[in-house]
Chains A and B, each alone.
Chain A
Amino acid sequence: EIVMTQSPATLSVSLGDRAALSCRASQSVNSNLAWYQQKPGQAPRLLIYDASTRATGIPARFSGSGSGTEFTLTISGLQSEDFAVYYCQQYSNWPPLTFGGGTKVEVK
Chain B
Amino acid sequence: QVQLAQSGAEVKKPGASVKVSCKPSGYTFNSYYIHWLRQAPGQGLEWMGIISPSGGSTTYAQKFQDRVTVTKDTSTGTVYMELSGLRSEDTAIYYCARDPKQWLVEGWLDAWGQGTLVTVSS
Size class of the contact patch on chain B? 20 to 34
Return chain A residues, CB-CB under 8 Å to B100: 49
Q: Is the CB of B107 within 8 A of A99?
A: no
- Alpha-carbon separation in the docked complex, A45 to B110 (Å): 8
Binds A, one of B9-17, B23-31, B54-62: B54-62
Using Cβ atoms and an 8 Å threshold, which residues of chain A touch B60?
95
B107 touches A55 (CB 8 A): no
Query: Which residue on A lies nearest to B113, using beta carbons?
Result: A43
Q: Which of B12-66 contact A (CB under 8 A)?
A: 35, 44-47, 49-50, 59-63
Q: Is the interface of A mostly helix, strand, loop or mixed?
A: loop
With the chains together, A97 CA to B62 CA distance in Å? 11
Whether B59 pairs with A91 at a CB distance below 8 angstroms is no
Q: Are B108 and A95 in contact (CB under 8 A)?
A: no
Chain B contact residues, CB within 8 Å of chain A: 35, 44-47, 49-50, 59-63, 95, 97, 100, 106-115
Which residues of chain A have a CB within 8 Å of any CB of chain B?
A: 32, 34, 36, 43-46, 49, 55, 87, 89, 91-92, 94-102
Q: Would you mind naming 18 contact pairs between A and B with Cβ atoms under 8 Å apart? A: A34-B108, A34-B109, A36-B109, A43-B97, A44-B45, A46-B108, A87-B44, A89-B108, A89-B109, A91-B107, A95-B60, A95-B61, A95-B62, A96-B47, A96-B61, A99-B44, A99-B45, A99-B47
